[in-house]
Each structure stands twice: as C-alpha cells, then as structure tokens.
Amino acid sequence: MHVLDLDIFSRDDIYKILEYSGKFKKNRYSHEKFLKDKSFVIIFEKPSTRTRISFDLAVYESGGHLITLNKGEFHLGKEDYKDTAKVLSRYVDGIIARVFSHTSLERLAKYSDVPVINALSDLAHPCQILADLLTIKEKKGKFKGLKLAYLGDGNNVCNSLILGCALVGIDCYIATPRGYEPNSKHILKALNIIEKYGDGSLTLTNNPKEALEEADILYTDVWVSMGEKEKDENLFKPYQLNKEALELAKDDCIVMHCLPAIRGKEITDDVIDSENSVVYQQAENRLHAQKGLLKFIYDD
C-alpha cells in the first residue's frame, strides 16, 4: 500500500488509524514492537524538524530501524526512478520521502515493491493531516458538526486537509485570495467523498469572515512554502490569523498551524500563544499518528 495522499483510505480506515494512534500515545514506551525486524529509508530533499524526528522515533519505538538520507546523499532523480525504487525495495521494507515534486513520489511508487509514504510533497501532506485529525478528536471529542476554517494559501497542507475533513465529516471552509484556491483535483475528490458518506461539506470562499464566523477550528499555514517563489503579501494580509479573526470564531475554538510558523505573517504571537492554540499538541501528534499509520500498513 502506497500512501501518497489520504484519498486511498475509507472513513473506517481513518478511524482505525486514529484508534491505533491514540493507544500508542497512551502507551508510548510500552506498546508492542510491531515493526520488529523491519527497516525503512527516509529521504529528505527538503529540510525538516518535526517530520524527521517524529518518523525516526515512530519507527524506533515500534521496533524498526530507519536509515536517513539527506539531500546530496542519494541519487533520486539523478538515476532512473525505476532503478532507485527497485534497489531500495531489495534493501528495506518501506520508503518514506519528503520531496519537492509529487511526481517524484508517483515515480517511486510506480516501480517500488514496498510501500512508499509521502512525508510531504508540493501537492500533499497526508501525515500532517492524520496528526491534525487526532488533535481535533482529542480536543473536541467528535468530527461531525464541527466547522473548520482554513485561511491563507491553498497549498499542499490545504489539499490534504480538505480530503481529511471530508473523510470524517467536518464542515470545511477554505478562505484564500482569488487564484490561490486548493488543487482542483483535490476539490473534486473531496466533494466525491462528501457525497459518498452524506455528511460534511466543503465551502471555498475569498471572504475570510465567512469562514471564521462561529468556527470551531481555525487553521493556517505559511503563505510561501519552502522552494516557492515569493508572493504578494498584500493579497494575504486579510487572511492573517490575528486577534480580530479569533473573535469571530467560537469562544472555545482551537487554533492550528502545522509549523514552522512565520510569526507576524500568517499568524500573530497573541494567537499562536493563546489558550486556544494547540500547535504543540499537533506537533507531538505527528509521532503518534505516524505510528498509527505504520501499524495500519504493516500489521493489519
């Protein structure tokens, strides 16, 4: 099973992954070593803090071994993807990759005989959203009936977020500047998932107030992702998560950011450091959610 994005999963699959994740969080150092005698390679074309540490610990604490390859230490894209995938498949039980281009993951997955897991690409960030769903469940105790407001750039996190919300029945409002909406194929996939399960919704708007009003969850990400060209910040200023934005949402709303944050740009200090903020819980949950995902792939 390759995990390039969340649309490969059913609702029951997501619930099972989150159930595993919750159990691993409660029993971090005493759960079963379900990856015993399994080895993985994790490839980094982009630098990382949370992804690198959380995957390393997720594999180690589950009994497996992880080999880390940083940029300049591998031949991905320099040699044929088929050759890389076929050779790695004979060494390891899984390939985890954080890449610039989603096409690189698709090429690896096409030829790999072992699972390929997307640890971030320019198109999607499924592992982050699994951690986000775990955080929402912990803080709100449910998914259905919740309103999530995402403000900013319709980027890779946003693309996977709309799939994750659709899969669990959250009403998802995406507020972006005109021309910065989420990927059109992801929008269509999310709408098809919503139709399949008969709950949840997806609303795209250029009006941040429409998204923010009575929201249960506020979410943002950097306006310029790593490797992207600079964007006109004036277009994005109305989409900043600040005190005024927080006042439009419900009093008990939670504030989310996948980190790293550019404080003072997409989110202000008084919001990211507020009592509503759960950004560090999100970051911690990357570890537990990735264990849940690995358990689902390798031990189910």
Q: Which residues are catalytic?
A: 98, 125, 128, 221, 258, 286
Rounded Cα gap, residues 210 and 245, in angstroms: 11
**β-bridge pairing 254-257 and 116-120:** unpaired
Rounded Cα gap, residues 203 and 221, in angstroms: 18
Burial class (CB in 10 A: 0-12, 13-18, 19+), 257: buried
**CB 105 within 8 Å of CB 125:** no
Where are the strands (E) in the chain, listed by range? 39-44, 65-70, 94-98, 116-120, 147-151, 171-175, 201-205, 217-220, 254-257
Give the 3-state secondary structure of residue 231.
Answer: coil
- Residue 299 CA from chain centroid, whole number: 22
Q: Is the peptide bond prior to 260 cis by the omega test (within 30 degrees of 0)?
A: yes
**CB 29 within 8 Å of CB 291:** no
Please, what sign has the CA dihedral across residues 271, 257, 132, 163? positive
Nearest residue to 125 via CA among 231, 53, 51, 42: 51
